[in-house]
Amino acid sequence: MAAAEFALQQQVEILYTDHHGWLRGLLRRKLGNAFDAADLAHDVYLQLLRTGRVPPADERRRHLTQIANGLVIDLYRRRRVEAAYLEALALLPEQMAPSEEARALALEALVEIDAALNGLPPKARKALLLCKLDGMAYRDIAAELGVSVSSVEKYIAAGLLACYQALHGAVC
């Protein structure tokens, strides 16, 4: 382990010792559930380790709160996607229902696509959804959004690229 990695790990351990109980309590109040709160509190510290940055002492609680709030939003978004997916699966005949493994993989892909779509500018997201879900022509999308057809082409290309990158982790 490099010296910088060791130093980061020590800083995160100190941060964890000093603030973990407070953070778990904050999340428990937000979520109303101690189990989800414990999971998300753990994820906050994992995210700190991934980013490689521990905030200065006077900003630590604010920084932890900001990360935690993002993770709470992600949790609710994931649950919304999962509920919609399960609702759609319930409409299938039993013999067509996917295996548990296929469900888990499909759900993970849906969550990644949802995150990619939410990262797009609103017009790009709407253009892609109107095209792919509603089957609208580019000219009709342009009229609905009040933009040119070439803008719609760019929006859809950006949306498709974001979805591809979310699913394949590729940077084009």
- In the prediction, which pLDDT does 152 show? 96
- In the prediction, which pLDDT does 75 show? 94
Give me the residue label for tokens 């900003």. 59
Distance, CA of 37 to CA of 30 (rounded, Å)? 8
Q: Where are the domains of the chain?
A: 1-93, 97-171
Residue range 130-158: mean pLDDT, rounded = 96
- In the prediction, which pLDDT does 36 show? 95
Contact 116, 163 (CB under 8 A): yes
Structure tokens at 117: 């779509």
Distance, CA of 133 to CA of 125 (rounded, Å)? 11
Buried b (16+ CB within 10 A) or exposed e, 79-103: eebeeeeeeeeeeeeeeeeeeeeee
pLDDT in tens, 84-138: 999 999 998 988 889 999 999 999 999 999 999 999 999 999 999 999 999 999 9
The CATH code belonging to domain 97-171 is: 1.10.10.10
For 17, 89, 103, the CA distances from 85, given in Å and listed in that order, are: 39, 6, 9
What is the helix (H) or strand (E) element at residue 42, kind and residue range?
A: helix 34-51
Residue 172 has pLDDT above 60, yes or no: no
Distance, CA of 114 to CA of 81 (rounded, Å)? 8
Residue 169 has pLDDT above 90, yes or no: no
pLDDT in tens, 26-81: 999 999 999 999 999 999 999 988 888 888 889 999 999 999 999 999 999 999 99
Contact 100, 108 (CB under 8 A): no
- In the prediction, which pLDDT does 167 show? 86
- In the prediction, which pLDDT does 72 show? 96
Distance, CA of 121 to CA of 159 (rounded, Å)? 9
Higher pLDDT among residues 113 and 4, named by residue: 113
Residue range 142-163: mean pLDDT, rounded = 95
Residue 171 has pLDDT above 70, yes or no: no
